[in-house]
Structure 1
Amino acid sequence: MSLIEELAKLRRALAERAALGDQLDAKREMEHFVSFRSLREVTEAAAHLERSGWDVDRSGGQDANSRYLLRVYREQPMDVESAEQALRGVYAITEKHGGTYDGFGAVFIDAEGSEPKGFFGRLFGTP
C-alpha cells in the first residue's frame, strides 16, 4: 500500500479505537511490520531505524516468500499526530532501503479504573 493508503488505514483504526474507549494519549508499545528482499537491505534498515530511536526485532527470519521480516517498535502515545509521525518515519526508512511496509499494531488501553474488555468486547463495545 502507498503511504497515503497506510495513513488512511491508521486514521480509521484510531477512530475505531477512540469510539471503543481506547485512551489514545496513553503510552504503549506501538509496532510496525516491514520486510525486505535481501539481508543487506534488512541490516541497513535495522541500523537506520535504531539510529532513529526505534527498537528492532529481527527474530522473524524469512517468510514463505524469502523476505526478511522486521518488527519495529517503541513506547509512545497513539494520538493522531504521534501515530502518523511514527508511521511516516518508519515508512520512509523502509522505502529508502527497498523494503515494504506491512502494517502496524498496538495494545488497547481502557480508561483507568474500568474493567478490561475481552476481544469481542473491544470489537463490539460491550464488556
Structure 2
Amino acid sequence: MSLTEELAKLREALAERAGLGDQLESKREMEHFVSFRSLREATEATTHFEDAGWQVDADIAQDQHSRFPLRVYRIQRIDVEHAENALRSVHSITLKHGGSYDGFGAVFIEADGTEPRGFFGRLFGNP
C-alpha cells in the first residue's frame, strides 16, 4: 500500500480505538511490520531504523515467502500526530531499502491506565 493509504488506515484505526476508550495519549509500544527481499536490505534497514531511534527484533531470518520480515518498535504515544510521524518514518526507511510496509499494532490502554481484560473477563467481570 502507498503511504497515503497506510495513513488513512492508521487514522481509521485510531478513531476506532478512541471511540472504544483507548487513551491515545498514553505511551505504549507501537510496532510496525516490514519485510525485505534480501538479508543485505534487511540488515542495512535495521541499522537505519536503530539510528533513527527504533528498536528492531534482532533475529533476521527468511520466512516461507522468501522475505526477511522485521518488527520495528518503540515506546510512544499513539495520538494522531505521533502515530502518523512514526508511520512516515518507518515507511520512508523501509522504501529506501527496497522493502515493503506490512502493518502496525499497539496495545489498547483503558482510562485507568491498564490493558483491557480479555473477552471472558469482560463478559464475567473478571480480569
- Do both proteins adopt the same fold according to a TM-score greater than 0.5, normalized to the shorter chain? yes
The amino acid that maps onto 2:27 is K
Find out whether 1:37 has 2:67 as its counterpart: no
Residue pairs, 1:5-20, within 5 angstroms? 5-20=5-20
Find the aligned partners of 1:100 and 1:113 in 2 and give their Cα distance: 33
Q: Which residue of 2 aligns with 1:66?
A: 66
Q: Which residue of 2 aligns with 1:46?
A: 46
Q: Give the number of aligned pairs.
A: 123
Q: Secondary structure at the match of 1:116?
A: coil
Question: Kindly tell me: are residues 6 and 120 of structure 1, through their superposed partners in 2, closer, same or farther at Cα, counting changes over 3 Å?
Answer: farther
Percent identity, aligned pairs only, is 72
User: For each residue in 1:32-67, what CA deviation from the matched residue of structure 2 results, as whole angstroms up to 9, or x when unmatched?
Assistant: 000000011000000000000000004362221110
Give the superposition deviation at 1:112: 1.1
Kept in 2, the 8 Å contact 1:58–1:69? The answer is no
Find the aligned partners of 1:93 and 1:106 in 2 and give their Cα distance: 20
Kept in 1, the 8 Å contact 2:76–2:82? The answer is yes
Q: Which residue of 1 aligns with 2:84?
A: 84
Where structure 2 has 5 or more consecutive residues not aligned to the other structure, the ranges are: none
Where structure 1 has 5 or more consecutive residues not aligned to the other structure, the ranges are: none
Q: Which moved more, 1:112-121 or 1:33-42?
A: 112-121
Find the aligned partners of 1:96 and 1:121 in 2 and give their Cα distance: 44
The amino acid that maps onto 2:5 is E
Kept in 2, the 8 Å contact 1:22–1:109? The answer is yes
Kept in 1, the 8 Å contact 2:39–2:60? The answer is no
Give the superposition deviation at 1:121: 8.8
The amino acid that maps onto 1:70 is L
